[in-house]
Amino acid sequence: MTQPMKRFPAASIDKLPEDIRTRLLAVQEKSGFVPNVFLTLAYRPDEFRAFFAYHDALMEKESGLSKAEREMIVVATSAANQCQYCVIAHGAILRIRAKNPLIADQIAVNYRKADITPRQKAMLDFAMKISRSAEEISEEDFAAVAQHGFSDDDIWDIAAIAAFFALSNRMANFTGMRPNDEFYMLGRLPK
Amino acid sequence: MTQPMKRFPAASIDKLPEDIRTRLLAVQEKSGFVPNVFLTLAYRPDEFRAFFAYHDALMEKESGLSKAEREMIVVATSAANQCQYCVIAHGAILRIRAKNPLIADQIAVNYRKADITPRQKAMLDFAMKISRSAEEISEEDFAAVAQHGFSDDDIWDIAAIAAFFALSNRMANFTGMRPNDEFYMLGRLPK
Amino acid sequence: MTQPMKRFPAASIDKLPEDIRTRLLAVQEKSGFVPNVFLTLAYRPDEFRAFFAYHDALMEKESGLSKAEREMIVVATSAANQCQYCVIAHGAILRIRAKNPLIADQIAVNYRKADITPRQKAMLDFAMKISRSAEEISEEDFAAVAQHGFSDDDIWDIAAIAAFFALSNRMANFTGMRPNDEFYMLGRLPK
Amino acid sequence: MTQPMKRFPAASIDKLPEDIRTRLLAVQEKSGFVPNVFLTLAYRPDEFRAFFAYHDALMEKESGLSKAEREMIVVATSAANQCQYCVIAHGAILRIRAKNPLIADQIAVNYRKADITPRQKAMLDFAMKISRSAEEISEEDFAAVAQHGFSDDDIWDIAAIAAFFALSNRMANFTGMRPNDEFYMLGRLPK
Amino acid sequence: MTQPMKRFPAASIDKLPEDIRTRLLAVQEKSGFVPNVFLTLAYRPDEFRAFFAYHDALMEKESGLSKAEREMIVVATSAANQCQYCVIAHGAILRIRAKNPLIADQIAVNYRKADITPRQKAMLDFAMKISRSAEEISEEDFAAVAQHGFSDDDIWDIAAIAAFFALSNRMANFTGMRPNDEFYMLGRLPK
Amino acid sequence: MTQPMKRFPAASIDKLPEDIRTRLLAVQEKSGFVPNVFLTLAYRPDEFRAFFAYHDALMEKESGLSKAEREMIVVATSAANQCQYCVIAHGAILRIRAKNPLIADQIAVNYRKADITPRQKAMLDFAMKISRSAEEISEEDFAAVAQHGFSDDDIWDIAAIAAFFALSNRMANFTGMRPNDEFYMLGRLPK
């Protein structure tokens, strides 16, 4: 097994706090492997708990954005931040959620050219502005995305996901977090 | 009272979930006012809880960085991200924690010229690289900060604070979060 | 007393040319201290004279811009240039001229979020373009600011102040010019 | 079949000049499909011939760089230029030439974190400087790559490939060239 | 004679392959000297042939763009890429083709201020976007240039010239290609 | 005669204040024409006087920098700021002062490739940093230029010229100041 991150020692699952160990084992049960983000962040249990609570609050809840659309935001902004772990791991999730084996690579390289709807293009324009130059966000940006039918709450979701992965991308680049080998092929072949 | 943020309705304290209301009242008791970040993020209780759990895990715990040093990271990176709320609110906290009425304004404008130690300058160089170009972080950057005596765990703290405020700055710019008027003067006068 | 600048010896007031010494003493009389820009630039008497002649021609004359508005331009562009002296010293002057203890910090961090009028926002947009990318200034930029009622002469004032502080910010960063301690509190308390 | 590019009509193979048609059929024979770059550039036969003559002069000849290394340069610089066609099509070729199903995605997102040798990292640093800021190339850059054992001729190859794909990436982005669906899976499964 | 490039040995004309030698002698016959781009690229005969075939396919053919307009694209984009050889050599050609001794210097410094028509300004705006940020080219950019009467084929020419000189500029900066002394004065004096 | 600037009416020489008119006539006497910077800035007599006092204090005095070297700084930084007037007018002066018909064009396009000494290259590196990112100027930058034998006063001259033309370039771009036709040929032919 490759090391989950380059700069810090990997957590040993059986020495983790009970709640974290339980979560890791549940993920392993479901996915067949433990994504390295869990092993990496487990180095700091309190940060681990807050990170995944935040993640779940954005990515698992009901929203005007489909789960695939939320993963599009993750892939597009993580590519702009050159985050290897997030692009490759969430690219896999996007392929699965969108049931589309091509979409993640397209969005990762240049979302403007991807096979997405104008509504999704507007969503990603807004997400990219939050990710790259949130200080310039303006009424025009809100109007541009709202005219595609996104509610205020949907727009919060777009912004919050872009903001959360601004954190996540930085931690992954800092720790040298590696995508597990399993992610590269997930969702590429028809079931 | 000015509105805590421009784009979303302010939470009404008495309608908030019990745990959040309790936290707000405790802050109000201690500070004499409720910082707008609490009222803004309370719009989304689950995100609120994760946000402050993450914040406390980084800013309140024991660390090789003093609390003043941690606030320096917040002020320097938030200034680079042009986050009005974070620079002004955490500038106040920095003045108080450092017992220095000048340091926050100096760091906010140009941390390279601030009255800080070479160790703190190296800490902020590393934090700024995480904040602005984490994708380029390299062995040289780790070596440069480590030679000032920061342990690996201290360096994680530097990076994690910069990363957490990358999220925070984006949410504040997105919501148009306003610094409370009280922050501007805090820590400027001798007690 | 802290050193007025880091890289060159401070001028000794009693050895300065008569006209410069007179100006310094007059400023000291009026303000209670000699701002470091005077002591720094006095190192080069001819440049000193030209600098302050230029400054006064822009900042002291009658104009369609109020004195507070002119200081807004100084603070916004100097913040973009990360000029510690100019942001802190002119921030103080702005607070006094605008009779507003909050405005300078708001503009320094992100003028787009400051409590200013749409007219002032347009003025600062134009000033920032002159400061940061004057080579791209276009008819659209002139039209955008003119529609807020600025005359051609007012627009010259906006541009000339942004241009003059492009010079001033670079000299301050070059010399390591320090804001006097007095500036930090000026204009923050009601008279 | 998806359209090979968005902005210009696709060439009809049987109406192409004889030499171009022959090349397309040969490629189709070998690969099982005609990569869209051939169909797109065939719109302009003279440019087509020059483009592929240049391509072959760099990518097919003997060189101190392996064919896989040359594809690494293509993938890294094309990712920086956000060229969907080049990253996805040459990513496939890289996987095949390097017999490594993971390497292309790693390099596309952030070559600094990819599983490559220090020699390859230095090669990509040089290629990226040619691609992104050739005007600043200096003796230090030449020395840095030469010390990994690259000859002057090898360095020419690195630079020329980066320069050629600077052209190619721009034409692909201009024409809206689509990667063929076949590329996404090539080289991902063991033979 | 100054060296044609700094980093590689100059080709000796009499040892070049026959076809390349013939081309060089023809150019010398016509111009009175051999432009250094020929001597530099002759170091690699196959690349030489492809380069000039591409060049001629774009610059010598019939087009909706005049030859002077095509040289404007070369000068403007090469200036943005800080390519000394291309700006000075093609500046000379532009002066001659436009029969205008001033236009090349104007475009090299800031094409937005040059004495050109609105149609030419739109052409250069499009060329610069291809040169500097082709990944963002959009329907709006196509519409903006098309409304000045450029056909789709003309727009291909604009883009292809900008893309070809993206390659050319990088090779010139890489090799340290020097403009021949003769270019500086060409086209500056009335015939 | 072409208009001296695009956006404001040209000053009529006989209506100017006596001192300014005298200066213009003296320049005309010496040069054979009135450079447009005089006619443009005369629109604002007080700013005119300060501008030229500053200019003369830097460009006419004794210095460790030759007059040609000072013009190199003007040309290099004005090119980075895309200031048509300054590059073309001061390019002419540089050719004359350096008695070198090629140097100005070389420096304007890419000073790193110009035929200058290592000392002059270090001088321009420092000047460019003041011009483009003075906020990052550091001890290393001072040391790098000092080791070529520049005194502290020489370094002030380098910085002050770069800073003064930061102002000048912005005013020229703002006013649309045109270089007089005479400048283009000055210093290109042997006397």
Write the pLDDT tens digit of every residue in E47-60: 999 999 999 999 99
Whether F116 and F62 have beta carbons less than 8 Å apart is answered as no
pLDDT given for residue B9 in this prediction = 83
pLDDT given for residue A2 in this prediction = 64
User: Are chains D and E touching, using the cut-off of 8 Å on CB pairs and a minimum of 3 such pairs?
Assistant: yes
Side-chain-side CA neighbours of F92 within 13 Å: the count stands at 16
Q: Is the pLDDT of residue E2 over 80?
A: no
Whether F112 and F61 have beta carbons less than 8 Å apart is answered as no
Q: Is the pLDDT of residue C5 over 90?
A: no
Whether residue D106 and residue A84 make contact (CB cut-off 8 A), yes or no, is yes
Chain Cα centroid distance, residue D16: 24
pLDDT given for residue D11 in this prediction = 76
Q: Is the pLDDT of residue C11 over 90?
A: no
Question: How buried is B93 (Cβ within 10 angstroms: 0-12 exposed, 13-18 middle, 19+ buried)?
Answer: buried
For residue F71, give how far its alpha carbon lies from the nearest alpha carbon of chain C (Å). Answer: 17
Calculate mean pLDDT across residues C158-173: 98
Best residue in B135, B138, B142 for a mutation probing chain D (most D CBs within 10 Å): B135
The Cα B59–Cα B55 span in angstroms is 6
Whether C75 and C128 have beta carbons less than 8 Å apart is answered as no
Whether F116 and F124 have beta carbons less than 8 Å apart is answered as yes
Token readout for C143 is 């039209």
How big is the A-C interface in CB pairs under 8 Å?
4
For residue E136, give how far its alpha carbon lies from the nearest alpha carbon of chain C (Å). Answer: 19
Whether F129 and F155 have beta carbons less than 8 Å apart is answered as no
Q: Is the pLDDT of residue A3 over 90?
A: no
Over residues A4-52, the pLDDT tens digits come to 877 888 778 888 999 999 999 999 999 999 999 999 999 999 999 999 9
Is A135 part of the contact surface with chain C (CB cutoff 8 Å)? yes
Is D188 part of the contact surface with chain E (CB cutoff 8 Å)? no
Q: How confident is the model at residue F11 (pLDDT cuts 50, 70, 90)?
A: confident
How big is the C-F interface in CB pairs under 8 Å?
109
pTM of the complete model:
0.97
Question: For chain C, how many residues are written?
Answer: 191
For residue A140, give how far its alpha carbon lies from the nearest alpha carbon of chain C (Å). Answer: 13
Best residue in D129, D133, D135 for a mutation probing chain F (most F CBs within 10 Å): D135
Judged by phi (left if over 0) then psi (alpha if -120 to 50, else beta), residue D98 lies in: alpha
Whether residue B174 and residue A130 make contact (CB cut-off 8 A), yes or no, is yes
Please determine, for the modelled complex, whether the ipTM score is greater than 0.95: yes
pLDDT given for residue B3 in this prediction = 78
3-state class (DSSP) for residue B161: helix
Is C112 part of the contact surface with chain A (CB cutoff 8 Å)? yes
Calculate mean pLDDT across residues C22-38: 95
| Average per-residue pLDDT for chain C | 95
Least confident of A120-124, E50-54, E187-191, F111-115: E187-191
Q: Which residues pair with D43 in a beta bridge?
A: none
Query: Which residue of D83, D109, D188 is in closest CB contact with A87?
Result: D109
Q: How confident is the model at residue E119 (pLDDT cuts 50, 70, 90)?
A: very high
Is E143 part of the contact surface with chain D (CB cutoff 8 Å)? no
Give residues 59 to 88 of F whose Cβ lies within 8 Å of C. 61, 81-83
Is E49 part of the contact surface with chain D (CB cutoff 8 Å)? yes
Whether residue D184 and residue A102 make contact (CB cut-off 8 A), yes or no, is yes
Percent of chain C with pLDDT over 70: 98
Per-residue pLDDT of chain B (191 residues; tens, 9 = 90+): 467 877 888 778 888 999 999 999 999 999 999 999 999 999 999 999 999 999 999 999 999 999 999 999 999 999 999 999 999 999 999 999 999 999 999 999 999 999 999 999 999 999 999 999 999 999 999 999 999 999 999 999 999 999 999 999 999 999 999 999 999 999 999 76
Is D31 part of the contact surface with chain B (CB cutoff 8 Å)? no
Query: Which residue of E49, E135, E174 is in closest CB contact with D53?
Result: E49
pLDDT given for residue B13 in this prediction = 85
Calculate mean pLDDT across residues F116-128: 98
3-state secondary structure D121-143: HHHHHHHHHHHHHHHHCCHHHHH
For residue C90, give how far its alpha carbon lies from the nearest alpha carbon of chain A (Å). Answer: 23
Q: Nearest chain A Cα to D5, which residue?
A: A113
Is E3 part of the contact surface with chain F (CB cutoff 8 Å)? no
Which chains does chain D touch, 3 or more C-beta pairs < 8 A?
A, B, E, F
Whether residue E106 and residue F83 make contact (CB cut-off 8 A), yes or no, is no
Q: How confident is the model at residue D2 (pLDDT cuts 50, 70, 90)?
A: low
Is D110 part of the contact surface with chain B (CB cutoff 8 Å)? yes
Whether residue A134 and residue B50 make contact (CB cut-off 8 A), yes or no, is no
Is E190 part of the contact surface with chain F (CB cutoff 8 Å)? no
Of residues B14 and A135, which shows the higher confidence score? A135
Is B107 part of the contact surface with chain F (CB cutoff 8 Å)? no
The Cα B104–Cα C105 span in angstroms is 11
Whether residue E138 and residue A112 make contact (CB cut-off 8 A), yes or no, is yes
| Average per-residue pLDDT for chain D | 95
Whether residue B113 and residue C84 make contact (CB cut-off 8 A), yes or no, is yes
- C81 interaction partners in chain F (CB closer than 8 Å): 134-135
Is D46 part of the contact surface with chain E (CB cutoff 8 Å)? yes
Of residues A2 and B153, which shows the higher confidence score? B153
Q: Nearest chain B Cα to D113, which residue?
A: B135
Whether residue A53 and residue B44 make contact (CB cut-off 8 A), yes or no, is no
pLDDT given for residue C69 in this prediction = 98
Find the Cα–Cα–Cα–Cα dihedral A143, A147, A149, A155, rounded to 10°. Answer: -20
Whether residue A61 and residue B82 make contact (CB cut-off 8 A), yes or no, is no
- D136 interaction partners in chain F (CB closer than 8 Å): 112
The Cα D150–Cα F22 span in angstroms is 64
Calculate mean pLDDT across residues A82-100: 98
Tokens 């070479």 label which residue? B118
Q: How confident is the model at residue C2 (pLDDT cuts 50, 70, 90)?
A: low
Query: Which residue of F84, F101, F113 is in closest CB contact with E109?
Result: F84
Best residue in C151, C167, C168, C175 for a mutation probing chain F (most F CBs within 10 Å): C167
Is F156 part of the contact surface with chain C (CB cutoff 8 Å)? yes
Which residues have CB under 8 Å from F190's CB, separation 6+? none
Show the CA angle centred on residue D103, arms to residues D99 and D104, nearest 5°: 105
Over residues D119-164, the pLDDT tens digits come to 999 999 999 999 999 999 999 999 999 999 999 999 999 999 999 9
State phi, psi for C177 to the nearest 5 degrees.
Answer: -70, 130
User: Are chains D and C touching, using the cut-off of 8 Å on CB pairs and a minimum of 3 such pairs?
Assistant: no
How big is the D-E interface in CB pairs under 8 Å?
109
Nearest to A25 by CA among A16, A1, A179, A176: A16
pLDDT given for residue F148 in this prediction = 98
Tokens 């902004």 label which residue? A77
Whether residue F138 and residue B112 make contact (CB cut-off 8 A), yes or no, is yes
Calculate mean pLDDT across residues A151-177: 98
Is A122 part of the contact surface with chain E (CB cutoff 8 Å)? no
User: What Å distances lie between residue D21 and C83, D11, D43, D50, CA to CA?
Assistant: 63, 10, 12, 15
pLDDT given for residue E24 in this prediction = 95
Whether residue F134 and residue C44 make contact (CB cut-off 8 A), yes or no, is no
Whether residue E134 and residue D169 make contact (CB cut-off 8 A), yes or no, is yes
Which chains does chain B touch, 3 or more C-beta pairs < 8 A?
A, C, D, F
